[in-house]
Structure 1
Amino acid sequence: MRFFSIIAAVLFCIPAAHATVPDDSYIAGYAAGVLKGLKIDIPSLVVRNGTITVPSKKLPEEDRARVVRILSEIPGVTAVNIADGTVQPSAAAPSAPDTAAKAPDVPATTTAAAPDEAITKEGVPADDSTVLATGMLPEGHLFKPLLADPRWAHFSAAYRNYIGNNVDGNNNGSVSFGETIPFYRGNFGQSTVQWEAGLQAAVFSDFNLDAPSSDLINSDFIASAYGSVRAGQLSAFGRVFHQSSHLGDEFLLRSITSLERINLSYEGADLRLSYELPYGIRVYGGGGGLFHKRPSEIKPWLVQYGMEFRSPWRIEVVSMRPILAVDFKNHEQNNWNTDVSARAGFQLDRLQAFGRKLQFLVEYFNGNSPTGQFYREKVEYLGIGAHYHF
């Protein structure tokens, strides 16, 4: 069946093995040598999967921006984290051991938390800063993905059960294929404030699982050029985008279909701001508008806001981290009624590919349909799905 073949493509065609992991021993020795050359004495630092963590108490305030910028340019480094306090690596790094460097000519050693520790707090307090690697095609994102946004570009597969009457069946499958790709990242001057520019694109498709051949209902295509900025815990994401919506052939051919087809296509621009609070809590908000839209009578304005919780504590036995997110949207087209999207579940930190981690989330939606052709329809559904996110 078509839908289940697409699910298989999403979940299993992504390589199971990790992408090549940088040599943490090499990075640790290189970083220690750089610090020694700058005449900065830091007794120890930790490198985990390309991320350098430096205790802030050992790094003079006046040297912090310069040191972080230089360390982020070391080959293989994905991020530099300034930790306020003692660095305590967790017991289960996804694919490479934690490495501590004493000096460039001293062999690196492996460290680990107590084996009987069931839950480990990972990460650092909210006032710490992380600086990502710069240059062409860098890893990571300055602006973290919106976990509950039904139209955030990423790879996913989900089952949804619609409550009440749905335009085409109550048992639907939904898949998405997409990514946010940074082309270049840099720093503003000599500061640790960073910017990046790139492309974001995705396809979102829905299938009627009640139909004999799991008919394609609709596909939305979204492509955009974006820019993002990050300063500590504050980040921003702005884009200019195109979206078009296309009904499936089987949906159009079936006699039960009474929906009027709309040639839905538009361009728009939006901006979102995000702030990360202590204990894994994040709040965000923003809005945008449409231009060059078809049909022309669509009202242009949109407001979006939400909250997320990414647990800083991880259950080490299964490397599992709880997640909770809720997203709200208000469209002028729908008289500013609130669309609510909520997702909750867990993230498996060890199961990752290309830096993306696998999440299993239950979901709930109530509002005007996020599916392009059906934006006038009120829907409510419950579902469960698998998602790949940073």
Structure 2
Amino acid sequence: MVKFVLIIFLFTGINISSSGISAKNDSTIGFFPGKRLFPALFIDPLECQINGGSYFLSRTGGKLSLYSLVNLGFNKPILAKYGKVISWEVNFGAADFSQFELNQKGDGTYLAGFLNNDFKISGDFSLKKNNHILRFRVFHLSSHLGDDYILRNNIILPNDKSKNYEQADLTYLRLMEDNYWYAGLGEIYTKYVFRKRLSFQGGGLLNFGKSKPVNLFTTLNVKLLAENIFDPDIRTAFGVSFNRECESMIRIWMEYYTGQLPYSTLKYGRVNWLGLAMWINLI
């Protein structure tokens, strides 16, 4: 079934590009271009980017903590061709996702600690015709418990490699002036992995007054993972964007998330968080 759907997505991509393939060659191939065809899905928790946030997190059972994220990464085109009809690019990305938590102990004192690191390496190919973009991506994701968590919980097997995985996914994105929406599906292709393989995601971005140096925006990301019995993981935000030449350089937002932890192999059950985050376009 998954292979059948992937074939449909690929056929759609071929159909999008078919009229442009025979067009006159109107561009040249360039290395390390300055801008991406496929915009950064910055609200996706696993996007390779620079951002961070602090949140009030509640777990199943009502336990409340202060949860913080520091994500350091990049996803940049290394090869691209921009034409009048068809454009394409090849991107490479890498990121380190670090998580920290501040808990209140039984005696009323507070204990902060380094929970976990996730590491991601990805490569993708994007094909654009008019306002339609199709992206095929493969990535590796590994998870490593933090020293504080290991020592405080007497963990014997700190890094269970059976939880690491590789995934291929296909995403369609529709541009609408300064806004977009997207939908896609993916499947884990690692041969020996102890997690269910199929996933879907979708979402979008709506800007208010993007042509201004400062504008408001709202955004949404929804993931449906077979690993989580397809219970939706929802992340939504409302914030402000600081722009230079119509390109967003800094975003600050208030966000709400409900779902399973998007990072690490820790089992917190279903969580909810609310807090502030920042994204920076440096690389």
Q: One fold, TM greater than 0.5? A: yes
Q: Distance in 1 between matches of 2:116 and 2:78?
A: 30
Give, as a single letter, the amino acid of the residue that structure 1 aligns with 2:271.
Answer: V
Of 263, 271, 282, the residue aligned with 2:170 is: 271
Structure 1 length normalisation: TM-score? 0.59
**Paired residue total:** 254
- SS of equivalent residue, structure 2 residue 95: strand
Q: Distance in 1 between matches of 2:86 and 2:63?
A: 48
Of 93, 96, 100, the residue aligned with 1:207 is: 100
Seen in structure 2, the aligned counterparts of structure 1 residues 238 and 246 have a Cα distance that, compared at 3 Å, is: same
Residue 144 of structure 2 corresponds to residue 246 of structure 1: yes
- SS of equivalent residue, structure 2 residue 172: strand
Matches within 5 A, 1:240-389: 240-255=138-153, 262-263=160-161, 264-278=163-177, 280-292=178-190, 296-315=193-212, 319-350=213-244, 357-374=249-266, 377-389=269-281
- SS of equivalent residue, structure 1 residue 254: helix
Residue 66 of structure 2 corresponds to residue 174 of structure 1: no
Q: Structure 1 unaligned runs (5+)? A: 1-64, 74-133
Kept in 2: contact 1:169–1:209 (CA 8 A): no
Q: Distance in 2 between matches of 1:257 and 1:165?
A: 22
Structure 2 length normalisation: TM-score? 0.79
Q: Distance in 1 between matches of 2:271 and 2:238?
A: 20
Seen in structure 2, the aligned counterparts of structure 1 residues 198 and 350 have a Cα distance that, compared at 3 Å, is: closer
Which one has a larger percent strand, Structure 1 or Structure 2? 2
Seen in structure 2, the aligned counterparts of structure 1 residues 285 and 389 have a Cα distance that, compared at 3 Å, is: farther
Kept in 2: contact 1:351–1:357 (CA 8 A): no
Kept in 1: contact 2:174–2:180 (CA 8 A): yes
Give, as a single letter, the amino acid of the residue that structure 2 aligns with 1:248.
Answer: G
What is residue 228 of structure 1 aligned with on the other side?
126
Q: Structure 2 unaligned runs (5+)? A: 1-22, 105-109
Of 145, 149, 156, the residue aligned with 2:51 is: 156
Offset of residue 233 of structure 1 = 0.9
Of 197, 204, 219, the residue aligned with 2:90 is: 197
Seen in structure 2, the aligned counterparts of structure 1 residues 386 and 224 have a Cα distance that, compared at 3 Å, is: same
Offset of residue 256 of structure 1 = 8.7
1:335-381 Cα deviation digits (max 9, x unpaired): 111110111101111499xx760110111110111013136721110
- SS of equivalent residue, structure 1 residue 383: strand
RMSD of aligned Cα (Å): 3.1
